[in-house]
Amino acid sequence: MHNIKLSPEIIERSRQHRGREHLFQGLDPAKTAHLIVDMQVGFLAPGAAVEIPMAREIVGNVNKTSALVRDAGGLNVYLRYTYDENEPVNWSFWYDVISSPEAKERSRGAFTRGADGFEIWPGMDVQPQDEILDKTRFSGFVPGTCDLDSLLEKRGIETVIVSGTMTNCCSESTARDAAQRNYKVIFMADGNATLTDDEHNATLNNMQALFAEVMTVDQLAALLAGSTERCA
């Protein structure tokens, strides 16, 4: 598990900006969605094309978050990173400028629909009532590349909880875009993973400073429990 370090200075700065210590006093579970980002074989399997070893260590916490949300009456949405050469607007900047030909081929081989790497990691607790959506960008909110925003709008979702991998890439991109679409955002400190503690903590501090409430799974459990008691 990552060694989590939130800066006391950033915590205090965010408290002063918000006028309170915590953004959330409670949640309406029916208006809450847990976004599980890219927990796929291509990221989690040993020796995978884009292996994130730490992602295997957060599986339990991500599943616990899903169970908490599901049991409270919220929505779980699994997002799958997808390589799609036939999409209307190809992501040429990432694949043809940022990526080497070898890196592009790894993505093609791992994340094309039907490839082994494309599938959700077998250890994830996917239930029939959960949603699964494909996305062709880091963020699930890029127009024309994923149906996430329209799904959440149809379901009346106001708050999103973000977990998955990579902390500083697809998880962070999705959380940032969610905040700018007026969703209230919770970012899981112990339910996201990337390659190094430094990268992980840099994102957690950015989230806390500007985009989200950073929480552990135990803190989320307490928040949801309190919300359920108030609704009883």
Query: Domain count of the chain?
Result: 1
Residue 148 domain-assigned? yes
pLDDT at 22: 87
In a domain, 2, yes or no: no
Is residue 216 within 8 Å of residue 22, measured between CB atoms? no
In this structure, is residue 180 part of a structural domain? Answer: yes
CA proximity to 94, closest of 79, 81, 113: 81
Give Rg (Cα) of the chain: 17
* Structural domain range at position 53: 8-231
Residue 34 lies in a domain: yes
231 pLDDT exceeds 80? no
Residue 3 lies in a domain: no
Predicted TM-score of the model (pTM): 0.95
Distances (CA, A) of 179 to 41, 89, 121, 197: 28, 25, 27, 24
Residues with Cβ within 8 Å of residue 11, at least 6 apart in sequence = 208
**% of the chain at pLDDT higher than 70:** 97
Assigned domain for 1 exists:
no
**C-beta of residue 44 within 8 angstroms of C-beta of residue 170:** no
Give the domain CATH number at 47: 3.40.50.850
Local confidence band at 121 (pLDDT 50, 70, 90 cut-offs): very high
Angle, helices 217-231 vs 59-72, to 10°: value is 10
